[in-house]
Copies of this chain bind each other. A is one copy, B any other.
Amino acid sequence: MDNRIITISREFGSGGRTIGKMTAEKLGIPYYDKELIKKVAVETGFDESYIEKQGEDAPSKSIFGYAFAARGMNGAMNGMSADDFLWVIQRNVILDLAEKGPCVIVGRCADYILKERADCLNVFVHADADIRAERIVRLYGESEKSPLKRLEEKDKKRSVYYRYYTGREWGMAANYDIALNSGKLGLERCVELIAELTDIQKALTS
């Protein structure tokens, strides 16, 4: 086993992003999430906030989406929809990052994009809805929608996006090398388990 790249997919509010960040810190390797978004933004000329919103949610085919996304593209999309173009760019960025060296990549279907790499550990993080609801209110505050509704909508969007671009069912255990219930196990324990499965930690501790 030679796990050098860690991809983390996660249910909204499960703490998967925090686990990714903590794992990267523990192992002393780069962590890509907002960084990745910025890199994509620069390469595409897309508006950063648009990418942050659209890069992982359900493809939007609205006129507004096209018009907004196409700004500054100078015809580089070659007839692809804005979403498909973004997918291609994101995919190339993720392939490049993985080529550069050990890292943690959160979200963006990285598990699927890097599925040919033997040195990639694919992780899924989930938790019961009540625990996630409490977490999103604590971290992101209240909104006019109930926390459970917010979870449902966000997970639905991620699920549709994932199915659209990968043909796979989001959240199926078989898509990941390890799937963890962060509510039951705790974030720290999840970080320990993931780090334990990489050769990176072995190198540090041996």
A167 to B: closest C-beta gap in Å: 16
Q: Is the interface of A mostly helix, strand, loop or mixed?
A: mixed
Docked pose: A181 CA to B120 CA in angstroms: 13
Q: Which A172-206 residues have C-beta < 8 A from chain B?
A: 172-174, 176-181, 184-186, 189, 193, 196-197
User: Could you tell me if A184 and B1 are in contact, using CB atoms closer than 8 angstroms?
Assistant: yes
A120 to B: closest C-beta gap in Å: 10
Docked pose: A153 CA to B116 CA in angstroms: 27
Q: Mark interface residues in A122-134 (1 if CB within 8 Å of B CB, else 0).
A: 0010100000000
- Chain A residues with CB under 8 Å of chain B are 1, 11, 124, 126, 171-174, 176-181, 184-186, 189, 193, 196-197
**How many copies of this chain does the complex contain?**
2
Looking at the complex, which one of B1, B126, B196 makes contact with A173 (CB distance below 8 Å)? B126
Docked pose: A189 CA to B180 CA in angstroms: 16
Docked pose: A142 CA to B193 CA in angstroms: 37
Give me the 3 closest cross-chain CB pairs, A-B, nearest first: A173-B179, A179-B179, A177-B181
Docked pose: A87 CA to B75 CA in angstroms: 62
A6 to B: closest C-beta gap in Å: 13
Q: Can you list 20 A-B pairs, Cβ within 8 angstroms, ordered by A?
A: A1-B184, A1-B185, A124-B173, A124-B179, A126-B174, A171-B174, A172-B172, A172-B173, A173-B173, A174-B181, A176-B179, A176-B181, A177-B180, A177-B184, A177-B185, A178-B179, A178-B181, A178-B193, A179-B179, A185-B197
